[in-house]
Structure 1
């Protein structure tokens, strides 16, 4: 209706017609109706062909040629008394063409489209080309989401069939996708498909917060990604059967329906490998064949097979290996046979390894770091891996590898590492800080990544105030015998004045040391094993029930080792760590999981004998029903149990700190509290002097040997307005629940009955809070505003609540 309305009403004079008559024996040609084209040009086209005999076909061809010039809308030939009369009607001559109302496309772009169809000023207008121009322009608008574009063509008639044309474009509002549905799927759910397509085309869908504008180019890419998804999962017969777009009456909303045919899944039936050098066949190839039998056919598996075969022979000294794969598909049985051709060329060995450009690292140390030996296979991939991991140490600015053939040898090569070391390996920093419990602190940090030119990293951290001094030392040493293994040594020293202490800080770790062995990160997993020693001093033993019970478990007389109000404890421990981290982070956006398990147990000859296990989990999961939103799960589980008559030490208790999470409670205000006792003199009825034991509750939280902390965050999608105002912006809501308790409380009948009779704070309460937060990246760094409200328990004092918080993490 669009083109009927504008072209059959406004341009009726553009109708074309042609007729030819028998023009044999014509002696004269007469031309009528032309206004802007000289008659000489028309006569040149006809070339007087009508004056000859038997030239009727030539005349018809010349008439067609006149039409092909696109300058005429009507051509009629009439024969009259040996005279040929040509009645011609010219197309309108465009003096000027203009347009307005185009906001989505620039004027230069529309000019290019007009020139593409030869529609310009000072030429004749062709109706067919003009229709095609408007049709293409309309498609361009639809690809941008404008499905309700109106065109108003204004024509101004001038003299001699000359006109001015103005195209007024009304774009109207952009259409938005309100529903996107896929049907015909059997093997994959709709949520699975939409989740997979979401990462590639996240701005195309409706995410329950804003309507996403339709984008034709992104929709085409989505269809390509949908097909790629099925092909990558082995569905070779996949096809899109039908695409429906249903518009609202005002064309502001679009419902998209895609009907697909999945087909059957294809599996690798067998893998055949042909090796021209049969003597070099490796047994590891059989493992590759077994591992991929029965696996689905997709590009990832084919690429993995090829890479694994190449890696096998690269390690054997074949740098120029060629692996060709041929896929034979049996569509009747839905099976696939892979044929692999391996072409091996020369095998190379390393004859000599040399280093140049080193100033701070010795040759011997470099050989241990690079871990290469002479007369070993030349493996270029392992050389690349070593160079890549060396850059992570920040000891080198660049590393170049030169490989040359040994003179007089065919298969031997020399490897020369040209390195430039990083001279700035030292970092010194001094800063001040404030801690509510310790006051103002002076912090000094010294970092040397190449201590004594040994390639080892040394770290010194000193924290000082008027009361105490904390010193921490770290030494990292890469092991040359074990590739990418790291040996880490730690030591600390805390100096505390006897006259200065805080009542609830009754334990001070005086000094200790620890040696840890870290494995390389393999498939996002890291293991570590540590052994160490700690010396702990109990400062100013005060009438504290739980502390007295703990000291009593160490000795029959808790004050037998008391020296000047100090009680020393010696612990020898072994610690193990398992770390799995596959989180992908970009700005505030995260995806994946980080899981960490830490265990610590005492050796039998220690004063304590306990086992402590701490489990931490962070998981970022996109929500399928709310696109662009992320669900963050955080879980902490801590246990501590002792063996025999000994109790779990109080200084190892779990306490609540929410430095990296959101909560409605303040730090270290959750869990069991200290209960103090005092003997009060009393004279009984017999006038005998005696004493009464009186208990006093406090707000000194000492923690417990058991902890469960769960925190759930819903990270909302980022609105386009905030993306323009801020570099990174994130908002969300959270629900936090934590419980810290002491199992040794109920193990003591007297203490448990004391809790029941004296109505002290229940140490097994669960603390639940909820709230919202806003985080954005400013020029000062990340800033987070948290608004929270406690839910449980109901009678908690206000001094424990943290309803508003601002932090810079």
Structure 2
């Protein structure tokens, strides 16, 4: 305040000294030079930009007032004086001290406070200005009050140092007030319970620690007002008004009471629907679309109107009219309580695409991204094709948060350039060192799954794994555009050795398997493709001297221990999922038939089906339903289906809560034998945990899983002369929660707690399960 008084005195009296000439007593004179005295930190150039009189100009007593004000208002100086020495004007200033250090005390998260200090120019290295600090403290207080911290206390203190002023901002947040009660006044059509379900704020409940709905915020209150209006507008109340949203506090400022006062009006219905304007597409097509959403006599709904408007503009955009608008003309009929609507089509111009560009792809080549984009250059634009291209790029896994925009070409209103902005993500999944699973315990491995290798779009994977129950070595290559037009080709070489009895309760035998396959991928449509695979496989079985189960000894006697196999696999795939990792919507389906050809040593076939369906249900919560089904059998002169190709279930990859591979038929020695029929079902709700955001690589899920394995070929077993049914009675099921994280190296880590809810005596249970690393198929 002291500096302000000096300014007033100087600005009011306007004393020009050095020649003892009082203000308004000197005659105007031409300024020959201007000197500035007292500068330390501030440069002369910084002062010059605030001078209102310059060398060579004439100064009068009236000019001194504006000159002083201009320099002082810069905020750089505590005091400013003007003196005259002949024709020289001397500016004498006293600089404000510099803020040498800023310390914020009393809070953990300082990001928002620091942003407010920066916005008000209270910054280390800037001039100390009490006015700006006062303004910053006021804005900080408003910020906390808007969040519901009504017991907030903020203060500041300063300390002189050698380099300037050390500023300390002390903040006591106080207890955050919680919403205790939400009430409504004037609501007749809907109950308070119904209205509460439409707004963001809520009272404290057992899940509010997660939803945070009981935490007050000014922004949320404004959103609640609009949410209430939308709720009524979607139910026919076109004249609804939310007159006020009153917030009151308890005496201790810890409880918040919110009351919404409204005037509902009367309910309206849809009247006549009319299509007019530029019919650049078939009117019947738009009429059918309109009838799908709105029918005369239905309750008026702003949401339905918005949906049909977007759908119409999408149809127009798919036919080249990306700038088309559907304008709405509402004509209320108060007597009949109906609203007649004219959907007026403004087609504007048909738009041509000049160039398609990509930004953000530092690794991936443009050509790799371009082959996923159905829109072509030098053709009419299709917003439908643009969106499909965006989804296709993201679905392939090497990019995320893909967006598409159009920019007008300079000088043309009917030509645009299309730009896809991509954010590349780590598409190489490494696995090196040690993995862990509930069944195999430690697994030594070295492997990588390199999708989009070196930005070429080609996929390479290799793995070298060893555990107590298996050894797995393989190398695979796939070029998804080998023949052009997204027709791909790939191959795989592999060697496997398994001794499952070391990790599961199965019969003790060793399987040595090596082979190769080559496969081709043919796109059928946007989301569908066909894959053909030809493979050669050689398998050798070896046994210990221990007595063999009847099921295995019968197979060995009939078929032998060494098998050479030629097979063909035909697979149909559908993938409309929006993301490669943690999809939020869309469907993945796979149906495959593997057929061992007649000249193979073993003649059999396998039919497999997999489904995963995703749908967002509430905010960041995604519902997933899926199934894995499998059926296999022998044909021709092969008497027994090869037991080592049986399906197994139970464990981390199928039904958590049970030991790995523990469910299904038992052999004559009581060990797990697997079967030729697999049924697995699963549902889950997943969401990013509270400590992460929607785009994070972590998901928390609650799941229900069920399934079983059956043998439809050898249905009975004989033990000590007693024949019993080999197949288990009924399915098994579990419920649980899981936390899954894709590490920065792309390695998935999962921890699950599962509780079997359908089980039988003798089932092997495992409530907690933990795994990390990749599974290479």
Quick check: 2:675–2:711 contact (8 Å CA) kept in 1? no
One of 222, 230, 233 as aligned partner of 1:228: 230
Determine the structure 2 residue equivalent to 1:533: 534
* Aligned-residue offset at 1:636: 3.6
Distance 1:389 1:629 in 2: 19
Distance of 1:140 and 1:422 partners within structure 2: 33
Residues 381-428 of structure 1: CA deviation (Å, up to 9, x unaligned): 47855875786576999999998799xxx9997x89999999999979
Provide the rounded CA distance (Å) in 1 between the counterparts of 2:221 and 2:754.
Answer: 41
In structure 2, the residue matched to 1:613 is 609
1:514 paired to 2:506: no
Q: Is the 8 A contact 1:671 1:739 kept in 2?
A: no
CA change 1:763–1:341 in 2 (3 A) is closer
1:640 and 2:608 matched: no
Give the secondary structure class of the aligned counterpart of 1:197: coil
1:476 is matched with which residue? 480
Is residue 741 of structure 1 aligned with residue 706 of structure 2? no
Which residue matches 2:662?
669
RMSD of equivalent CA atoms: 6.5
For 1:473 and 1:782, the matched residues in 2 are separated by 22
Q: Which moved more, 1:455-464 or 1:775-784?
A: 775-784
1:326 aligns with 2:329: yes
Structure 2: gaps (5+ residues): 1-105, 108-112, 117-140, 153-171, 503-507
Q: Secondary structure at the match of 1:219?
A: helix
Contact 2:374 2:385 (C-alpha < 8 Å) held by counterparts: no
User: How far is 1:797 from its partner?
Assistant: 8.1
Q: Distance in 2 between matches of 1:366 and 1:788?
A: 41
Secondary structure in 2 matching 1:511: strand
Indicate the SS of the match to 2:199.
Answer: helix
Over 3 Å counting, the alpha-carbon distance change for 1:592 and 1:267 in structure 2 is farther
Instruction: Give the C-alpha shift of residue 339 in structure 1.
Output: 2.7
Asked whether the equivalents of residues 180 and 205 of structure 1 are also in contact (C-alpha less than 8 Å), the reply is no
- By how many angstroms is 1:510 displaced? 2.5
Cα separation, partners in 2 of 1:539 and 1:802, compared to 1, 3 Å: farther
Alignment of 1:61-460 (within 5 A): 175-180=177-182, 194-198=196-200, 201=201, 206-208=205-207, 212-215=214-217, 218-232=220-234, 234-239=236-241, 253=255, 261=264, 263-267=266-270, 269-275=272-278, 284-294=285-295, 298-307=301-310, 309-310=312-313, 321=324, 323-343=326-346, 378-379=380-381, 381=383, 388=390, 431-434=432-435, 436=440, 440-443=444-447, 449=453, 457-460=458-461
SS of equivalent residue, structure 1 residue 515: strand
Deviation at 1:219, TM superposition (A): 3.2
1:558 maps to what in 2?
558
TM-score normalised by structure 2 residue count: 0.55
For residues 104-140 of structure 1, the C-alpha deviation after alignment (integer angstroms, 9 at most, x for no partner) is: 9x9xx9xxxxxxxxxxxxxxxxxxxxxxxxxxxx999
Distance 1:309 1:621 in 2: 25
**Hey, what does 1:757 align to over in structure 2?**
722
The aligned residue for residue 707 of structure 1 is 679
Shift of 1:659: 3.9
Counterpart-to-counterpart distance in 2, 1:489 and 1:177: 60
Aligned equivalents of 1:143 and 1:361: distance in 2?
Answer: 45
Give the TM-score normalised by structure 1.
0.54
CA contact (8 A) 1:489 1:514 kept: yes
* Secondary structure at the counterpart of residue 267 of structure 1: strand
Deviation readout 1:497-537 (Å, 9 max, x if unpaired): 8999984564746233333345666xxxx434333334444
Q: Which of 590, 599, 607 does residue 598 from structure 1 map onto?
A: 590
In 1, the alpha carbon distance for the partners of 2:418 and 2:683 equals 50
SS at structure 2 position matched to 1:333: coil
Q: How far 1:273 moved relative to its partner?
A: 0.7
| CA deviation after TM superposition for structure 1 residue 327, in Å | 2.0
Q: 2 CA distance for matches of 1:575 and 1:501? A: 32
1:656 equivalent in structure 2: 649
Instruction: Name the CA shift for 1:342/1:222 in 2 (closer, same or farther; >3 Å).
Output: closer
